Amino acid sequence: MFTYCIEVLNLSEPEAYLRIAVARASRAHPLLLEMLADGRIHLSGIAKIAPHLTMENHAEVLRRATHKSKRQIEELIAELSPRPDVPAVIRKLPARKPSPMPAPLTAPSPRVQLRPDGVTSPPATAFAPKPEPLAPSRYKVQFTADAKLKEKLERLTALMRHSDPEADLADVIDAAVTAKLERLEAKRAARTSAPRKSIEQTDTTPGSRYIPAAVRRAVHERDGGRCTFVNAQGRRCSESSRLEFHHERPFARGGGHELDNVRLLCRAHNRYRAERDYGRDTMDRYRRAASRAREPEPVYFVNGIRRDAFPDKRVLGRQPTKRDRAARRHRAALDD
């Protein structure tokens, strides 16, 4: 069967193995073929979960695996057959072999062709492995670090053992990630244990583009730190990185910072909504202007005091800083 799949059906070795494994599993559990035919489960999911199916549990397990991704099925398997925790280990990897030097070019490289036979595949990129589920709420995380990170981990471990003598590598990484996450969430989502103002005490009038901290905090909590765009089929975007605040009624058209007017969108959907609000041509002109190279403004000094050539120039949405106010007072003193 393996030879038939490769030589007659022209399948690759992994694909041939995958289909043979699914066919063998369907002999004991014919329900697998029905679920595969109507799209309730995929080949990779069947190959993963088939060794854990029995006559007693197959109906319930397949019900829980319906429309699940490969990663979600791996978490289900970890619940069915939990594995023990792996030990925390730091070991030195063997030195990399030097890559061969590319041959010198004797002729100019050909121009890129857009024909199907002239397009070359991009070089393969090595991706970091995903956390591997071992048991419910337990994962195996493996990564490669440089010498500087190894030294930082050892220093942090030594400092933490003053208060927690049993701290291991997982505890150290958890403490470091938690501290970094708190700082980033405080900066981006305005999360704090003692907020200065509540949403009722916050001024949400459109005086500037700055969104008050109470509004940002409430929007992140309401939207769950995830893009809120929903397509015509009712599916919500699952993106949780590079999120931006979007005004349902655009700020440039008088929209304020009220809680019901601000929501989270990923960068792609925020651009899409901006094109719907302002038009694609307007947004294209804005992006071209933003990416255009600009020369720095000239600066000169009078009596050792910095004076800008264009003191009255303002950047859209930028608030005057302490340096701006100090320079303005110095200019007024010189003019007097």
Residues 283 and 307 in one domain: no
Residues 179 and 226 in one domain: no
The mean pLDDT of 292-321, rounded to a whole number, is: 55
**End residue of a domain, out of 64, 80, 96:** 80
In the predicted model, what is the mean pLDDT of the chain? 81
pLDDT band at 201 (very low <50, low <70, confident <90, very high): confident
* pLDDT for the residue numbered 313: 47
* pLDDT for the residue numbered 308: 56
Residue 120 predicted with pLDDT over 50: no
* pLDDT for the residue numbered 56: 92
Residues 22 and 62 in one domain: yes
Residue pLDDT, tens place only, 210-264: 888 899 999 999 999 999 999 988 999 999 988 999 999 988 888 888 999 999 9
Residue 14 predicted with pLDDT over 60: yes
Residues 285 and 262 in one domain: yes
Total count of domains within the chain: 4
196 or 39, which is more confident: 39
Distance between CA atoms of residues 25 and 75, nearest Å:
20
Residues 255 and 273 in one domain: yes
Q: Is residue 307 part of a domain?
A: yes
**C-alpha separations of 325 from 2, 70, 302, 332 in Å:** 77, 57, 17, 11
The answer to whether 215 touches 199, Cβ cutoff 8 Å, is: yes
Angle, helix 169-188 to helix 213-223, in steps of 10 degrees: 120
Expressed as residue numbers, the domain containing 43 is 2-80
**C-alpha separations of 130 from 74, 75, 127, 141 in Å:** 11, 12, 9, 7
Residue 45 predicted with pLDDT over 60: yes
Q: Is residue 91 part of a domain?
A: no
Residue 35 predicted with pLDDT over 90: yes
Residues 304 and 323 in one domain: yes
* pLDDT for the residue numbered 57: 92
Residue 119 predicted with pLDDT over 50: no
Q: Is residue 221 part of a domain?
A: yes
305 or 327, which is more confident: 327
pLDDT > 70 fraction of the chain, expressed in percent and rounded:
77
Residue pLDDT, tens place only, 259-273: 999 999 999 999 999
Residues 6 and 76 in one domain: yes
Q: Is residue 155 part of a domain?
A: yes
Q: Is residue 197 part of a domain?
A: no
Question: What is the 8-class DSSP label of residue 261?
Answer: G
Q: Is residue 90 part of a domain?
A: no
pLDDT > 90 fraction of the chain, expressed in percent and rounded:
32
The answer to whether 131 touches 78, Cβ cutoff 8 Å, is: no
Distance between CA atoms of residues 257 and 245, nearest Å:
10
pLDDT band at 298 (very low <50, low <70, confident <90, very high): low
Give me the count of residues in the chain.
Answer: 336
The mean pLDDT of 159-174, rounded to a whole number, is: 88
Residues 70 and 20 in one domain: yes
**End residue of a domain, out of 31, 53, 80:** 80
Phi, then psi, of 133 in degrees rounded to 5? -70, 130
Residues 286 and 217 in one domain: yes
Q: Is residue 312 part of a domain?
A: yes
pLDDT band at 332 (very low <50, low <70, confident <90, very high): low
Residues 262 and 306 in one domain: no
Residue pLDDT, tens place only, 20-33: 989 999 999 999 99
Residue pLDDT, tens place only, 61-100: 999 999 999 999 999 999 999 989 888 888 887 877 766 6
* pLDDT for the residue numbered 304: 57
pLDDT band at 333 (very low <50, low <70, confident <90, very high): low
Q: Is residue 125 part of a domain?
A: no
Distance between CA atoms of residues 213 and 187, nearest Å:
9
**End residue of a domain, out of 80, 100, 123:** 80
- Weakest mean pLDDT among 106-120, 168-182, 209-223, 252-266: 106-120
Q: Can you name the residues that pair with 299 across neighbouring β-strands?
A: 308
The SS3 of residue 324 is helix
